[in-house]
């Protein structure tokens, strides 16, 4: 089912959802993330979806963290931005070409080792970066905050994260849905 984040009708209200599993970029391993979201008013919402530092569950955490990989939509602009932030230094140009929130969108990324992140919109590669990839421990997040005094909503169908791991000489994937 869908998870809905709705403002209360007041500016700067919303909610967030944080997973409990720890994910981390590791040399010679892949990390995969995908979600499907839809917004009632994308240019009047702050939205973050992806992986960021584990912290106390609060709406503002993903917007202010120093270590994150994901997608950001900012109030006043429905454009989707790829975010790759390590220690407070973020991706210089994270704009996803032609990416705006209109209808439902699948947003995903693949982290390859500690040296590359590929960002996808509707499963089409849009941006690749090799800079500022965090190697700290991260958790899965979705957060949304209304940017006006209206009960704007963001609905999330699923949050899927999988990591390539090696145990007893066998390569396997661990996932969290």
pTM equals 0.84
Cβ atoms of residues 156 and 49 within 8 Å: yes
Per-residue confidence band for 35, with pLDDT thresholds at 50, 70 and 90: very high
Residue 93 has pLDDT above 70, yes or no: no
pLDDT in tens, 94-141: 555 556 566 788 999 999 999 999 999 999 998 899 988 999 999 999
pLDDT value of position 89: 64
Eight-state DSSP code of residue 11 = T
Interacting residues of 67 by C-beta distance below 8 A, sequence separation 6+ = 52, 53, 85, 86, 87, 134, 136, 138
Residue 177 has pLDDT above 50, yes or no: no
pLDDT value of position 125: 92
pLDDT value of position 158: 93
């Amino acid at each position: 089912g869908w998870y809905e984040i709705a403002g209360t009708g007041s500016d700067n209200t919303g909610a967030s959802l944080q997973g409990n599993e720890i994910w981390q970029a590791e040399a010679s391993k892949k990390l995969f993330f995908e979600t499907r979201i839809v917004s009632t008013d994308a240019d009047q919402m702050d939205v973050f979806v992806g992986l960021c530092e584990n912290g106390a569950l609060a709406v503002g955490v993903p917007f202010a963290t120093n270590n994150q990989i994901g997608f950001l939509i900012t109030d006043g602009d429905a454009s989707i931005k790829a975010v790759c932030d390590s220690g407070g230094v973020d991706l210089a140009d994270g704009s996803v070409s032609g990416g705006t929130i209109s209808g439902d969108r699948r947003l995903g990324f693949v982290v390859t080792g500690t040296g590359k992140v590929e960002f996808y919109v509707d499963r089409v590669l849009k941006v690749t970066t090799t800079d500022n990839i965090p190697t700290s421990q991260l958790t899965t997040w979705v957060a949304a905050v209304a940017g006006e005094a209206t009960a704007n909503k963001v609905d999330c169908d699923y949050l899927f994260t999988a990591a390539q791991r090696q145990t007893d000489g066998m390569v396997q994937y661990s996932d969290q849905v």
